[in-house]
Chain A
Amino acid sequence: EIEPSVLFYSHTCETPPPSPLSPLHDGKSSAFKETKELSAPRVTNLADHGTMKHALDDAVVKIVTASFQENHTLADTKIALGVLACCMALFAQFSPVPFPDDRTILIVCCVSYFLLNGILQGIAMFLERDIILTTKPKEGSRAALVVRSQFPPYAEDYSIIVQWDKDSASALTHVSSVGQYFDREGNLVEEHLKRDVQRLITDLEKKKS
């Protein structure tokens, strides 16, 4: 039986991951502190596209947030709108006023539920798109960092894109096969991912100045 990683991906990690103090790690000061030791690595199903993308996205977020602070505004807005929509729906269903009299309340609740859901969909489609992380600007600089990722279905190339917020011309992309980041058993080799992400961000910060 052929293992799926050999079948689909052009290259999987055969060698053990380099240690943090290997020559791959720049002696010069980069923007990064060392990330904490991971707990037991999570094993990903290599045939499930969605799980792989989530594993990679989560790892990228973990790497970047070791040195940048995450901006939670969008997630908080989505949660608030979602809770409000649920309250509208619950109130429509369980309103204390008996049926024919509360028509106006019901109409208001239903319409606002659909509106709120439309707004949430709009946020997901137009504001969020493929962004996996927005950071708060570091002290001294005005721009926030935005990290995006793309992993088209049925393809093996995972793209990491970093750019300054509101400045899409500054985008820097790194594309590689997911075989670079996962080994045969499905363990995510964080060191390879970290090397690529850190290089991207260091390049972006140099470009800005």
Chain B
Amino acid sequence: FMHKQTKMGLFDPAIESTKNFLKENSTRKLLLQFVNLGYVLGSAFTIWTSLMILWNTESPIVVVLSGSMEPSYLRGDIMFLTNHDQTYNVGDIVVYRLKNQDIPIVHRVISIQNDPKDEQEFLILTKGDNNNSDDRGLSGYGYWIKKSQILGRVRGNIPYLGMVTIWFNDYPLFKYVVLIVAAVLILTSYEREG
């Protein structure tokens, strides 16, 4: 004999639990949960800013995006930069930014000269260990880089950890999914008491 089945939509359980969550939580509680989320974000921002101050550099942590420094640094390595001592020597591995680009480049210094136009300034020529030619071709103008473009010197390195950042960049959907799931988890989690 026929048994009538009520169809349940795909999102019904999620909608139900969100409705329960909103019903049981007053505005104040919701605000407290948002403050929790803000605490996580704020901590991340503040740690980044503290590192900026401590190491005197605009970008204290960078990820190697290309294989131009193999076999020392592979694509996906995380680098820690400091910039206290701004006298650079030939052989240092520095991270710099080209004038019109956001992406930092990690290469080795192979030559330093005085700037003919400016007494205080130095011009620096860099080359990736794995590249055939030096970096004059990178900027498209054949220029050497100035000291002011350098973000810092590499002081420490964690291999492979930066692959997550590269995946976030290459697959934006992955990034949005991870961020949204993390935000929802934080917002709907209760503070655990001792």
Contact = CB atoms under 8 A, between A and B. Distances in A.
Interface of A: 39, 42, 50-51, 53-54, 58, 72, 75-76, 78-79, 82-83, 85-86, 88-90, 92-93, 99, 103, 106-107, 109-110, 113-114, 117, 130
A76 B26 CA distance: 13
Contacts of A42: 20, 24
Nearest to A98: B58
For the residues of A in contact with B, the DSSP-based class is helix
B50 interface: yes
A89 B190 contact: no
Contact of A106 (B28, B38, B53, B190): B53
B179 interface: no
Contacts, number: 69
Nearest to A53: B193
Interface of B: 20, 23-24, 28, 31-32, 35, 38-39, 41-43, 45-46, 48-50, 52-53, 58, 190, 192-193
A113 B28 contact: no
A86 B42 contact: yes
B53 A79 contact: no
13 contacts: A51-B190, A76-B28, A85-B42, A88-B42, A89-B38, A89-B46, A90-B45, A93-B49, A109-B46, A110-B46, A113-B42, A117-B39, A117-B43
Contact of B35 (A50, A82, A92): A82
Given A53-B193, A109-B49, A89 B35 contact: no
B43 A106 contact: no
A201 B58 CA distance: 59
A110 B28 contact: no
A148 B41 CA distance: 31
Given A53-B193, A93-B48, A78 B39 contact: no
Given A39-B23, A42-B24, A86-B35, A110 B42 contact: no
Contacts of B53: 103, 106-107, 110
A109 B31 CA distance: 22
Which 8 residue pairs across A and B have the least CB separation, nearest first?
Answer: A82-B35, A89-B42, A86-B38, A93-B45, A92-B49, A89-B45, A113-B46, A99-B58
B23 A85 contact: no
Contacts of B192: 50
A114 B193 contact: no
Nearest to B37: A86
B126 to A, nearest CB: 22
Contact of A82 (B23, B39, B58, B190): B39
B186 to A, nearest CB: 13
Contacts of A39: 23
A82 B49 contact: no
Q: Which one of B24, B32, B48, B193 has the greatest number of beta carbons of chain A within 10 Å?
A: B193
A50 B190 contact: yes
Contact of B43 (A50, A89, A90, A99): A89
Given A89-B45, A93-B48, A75 B28 contact: yes
